[in-house]
Structure 1
Amino acid sequence: MSNDLTQTDRSRLRRFHELGAHDRATIHAILDAEPNCTVAYVMDGAPYLTPTLQWRVGERIYWHGSSASRAIKAGKGHRVCLNVTIVDGWVMARSGFNHSVNARSVTLFGMAEVVPEDQKAAHLTAFIEGMWPGRTSVLRPIQPQELKATTLLSMPIAEGSAKVRQGPPQDEPEDYALPIWAGVIPTARSVETPIPDARNLGGLEPPEHITAFCARGRS
């Protein structure tokens, strides 16, 4: 298997191509760092976008939704485009035109495939364990009706690209002499103190896998 994803006319970066990357290591790292994604597809001749959660297992990407969802029904066996974006900072330049965003993103193209019924429980468990290792050991078993109501889709990580921008603003040479503050405002998603459900049984404290997740989010 090649270390780089396949480059095609639709996956090749044309603007700011120097920010692009096709290597699997970069793409895997971005996918693993951000579960939120957007899936695009065409339904009844019109374009649609659906936000959902994704996770990676090896060289495949998975996402889920309701079996009754029009988006899920439209995605089965159809070509889709999936995007993950992480904003790392606001780039404040000396002109409005040169303002930018420090960000990491991945865009993948492929054919959505339905995960077989007998594999759904294992993949849902892998998703939860990937986020909160140890969580599934304390949960009640997944019920058959819950599996029936959930559809999982996947596609190979084969065609796509990453785009990564980091660093200070890139201003016009003459603009550096202007008395205008420029720089980067870093941004990050924080993990706060867990808020217990009011209907928790008495005496329950956040388990180790929750406190560990919060600690990782603050590091």
Structure 2
Amino acid sequence: MTRVWTDFLPQQEVERVVPARSDGVEFGMEALARVAVSGAEAVSAALDSLPELYAEWRRGQEGMMTGLAPRRLKTGQALLENVDTAGSRIRDGIDLLKRDTVAREAFGLMNTAMAMANRRREAVIQKKLPGDVDPPTWRPFQLAFVLLNLVGVTDRNSGEREIVDLLFFRPAAARAYLGLAAYAIVLRRLRGSGVLGAGISVIMRYTLRLLTPLVSSARSNSCGPMMTMAGRRLANGRSRLDSG
């Protein structure tokens, strides 16, 4: 190093991250809603390959550890253990959808609501009718995040309820946690009618004042379509959905 300098306004060009795709996994929201209605075998055909793809990526990461210094190798091994845990949780989430009809229905309704929200948002951006925009899809990490949290959200006795998952992927992380929030809200009402299905399901809090418009965006883009959908599908005396 021959020079040291400072910048008053430092800048860094960050390359766009492009998610990998696979023909063996269904990422379409509306397609997944139909899968949920079709049953366990359809869920298996649509999602079983996702943990396998994750395991393949993990093997590639392990291969990159060759030649690392002992301290870095220890860190890498700890990270791979976390990857193994996440892969197991994703697989458990898929298995839950296969055996639990209520969870599967909630998953389908969540995908319907998220698809409605995404179509409405893209229609405004593209100046088209909602039905004319491309079918909305999940990014792989978004769908994986939803699946790995399904057991903890669904099973009140699960040890995963003690886990706090931090998802940092700007700016697309919001869709993942909004999808999981929609699942939790719908699941609560499917499990109990009237006051048994009522109560607060999700609390969203943005600590930075400049981010508070995102809360309004979440309410309009996700909660609105979810309430519309819920009015059609969650009737029969179940508690209505609301946000505030």
TM-score class, shorter: under 0.3
Larger RCO (CA within 8 A; separation ≥ 6)? 1
TM-score, normalised relative to structure 2: 0.22
- Structure with greater helix share of residues: 2
Higher strand share: 1
